[in-house]
Amino acid sequence: MKEPIPSVVPEERWAELTHDDLTRYSRQLLLSELGIEGQQKLKGAKVLIVGTGGLGAPLALYLAAAGVGTLGLVDFDSLDVSNLHRQIIHGSRDVGRPKVASARDRIRALNPLVNVVTYNEPLNSENALDIISEYDVVADGTDNYPTRYLVNDACVLLGKPNVYGSVFQFEGQASVFWAKQGPCYRCLYREPPPPGLVPSCAEGGVLGILPGVIGTIQANEVIKLLVGGGEPLTGRLMLYDAWRMKFRELKLDKDPDCPICGKHPTITKLIDYEQFCRIKTKQDETPVESITATELKRRFDAGEPVQVVDLREPHERAYFKFPNAKVIPLGQVIRRMDELDPAIDTVFVCKIGQRSILAVRNLREAGFPGRMMNLLDGVQGWINEVDPSAKQI
């Protein structure tokens, strides 16, 4: 068993417990691993939660219930009704509100003793160091690669532990990335996958319970870091399959050649993470031509020649079959490009119009000579503009 690490909460911030504290946390105080001193550390602790969605919801609720003194919430999104099956910190009446506002209200209702600081703004290279420097631990509840790498790099530069979690469909993973004690996120994933190659939860779906499990595990790891006990997930990646109910664990080693936490780091300050993740279009890159759903429908009705390629996976097509489409999943599009007629305009379709842009660029690089277009807003655009009676996906 590893030696327990000391608490990340400075001793001068350990807070005296009031009668209300002793009553509220009485069942937790009975645990010898926590006790009075552990609760004092929790009360004096400051934790930043990046994202108040599927992972951030259980994170915030359980850390608030446990008595963490200050919770910072960073999110720049408003609540959509499609969020509610997994983002349990929000309610139906909060639809349309900033997520940090509804999350703050729910935390205060659960535990008014907790100080909640909200940041209704995107976390970026300009503000990340200033915000994160105020906290003892960062809990990463993000769902996109630019913010994930930003959080990692900022935590490495500031020496903060980063409690990581991610979810997709039925699978989730969690770890503690802390360069002082072990590997960082870049030791595991030095570079992100090409944009669009890995579908987001909005495209591929997620079991609502899954982020609850992973987010609760993250909250558990945060508490261990604050109290200074147990065996944190530092140097270990926990994998969870909700459908098969299996947990696995992989050992993670620190990469001596890691560009930010290795022996000779090449990243010494925060960078442009959208450019790093290839989200931004290069200035010299030819833009991808788009076609609206309304115009595509007009071409269908007029009998104009056009070939449609549906890039979605089988489980996505089960909800909505795009009319007159040839099915070629994104991962097969290059090796199957001979099936496309370069003399006919080709329209690529995915759920929201991201993978289709990647397909056009990949085929362009592979030498496909035909005219290629991205269906603007994907299948969802078709449903909104042409077929509103179709099942929303």
Report the helix count and the strand count for the chain, using DSSP H and E.
15, 13
Catalytic residue among 187, 261, 277, 350: 350
Distance CA 274, CA 375 (A): 23
Burial (Cβ within 10 Å: 0-12, 13-18, ≥19) of residue 230 = middle
**φ and ψ at 27, to 5 degrees?**
-70, -30
Please give the structure tokens belonging to residue 4: 């327990």
87 touches 52 (CB < 8 A): yes
Instruction: Kindly state the DSSP code that residue 317 receives in the 8-state scheme.
Output: H
Helix runs in 241-335, H state only: 273-276, 293-302, 314-317
Catalytic residue among 201, 258, 261, 277: 201
Active-site residue, 184 included: no
**φ and ψ at 232, to 5 degrees?**
-65, 165
Q: Are strands 246-251 and 236-241 parallel, antiparallel or unpaired?
A: antiparallel
Please give the structure tokens belonging to residue 298: 């007009």
Active-site residue, 201 included: yes
Distance CA 10, CA 170 (A): 38
Residue written as token pair 């911030």: 13
| Amino acid of residue 68 | V
Residues with catalytic roles: 201, 350
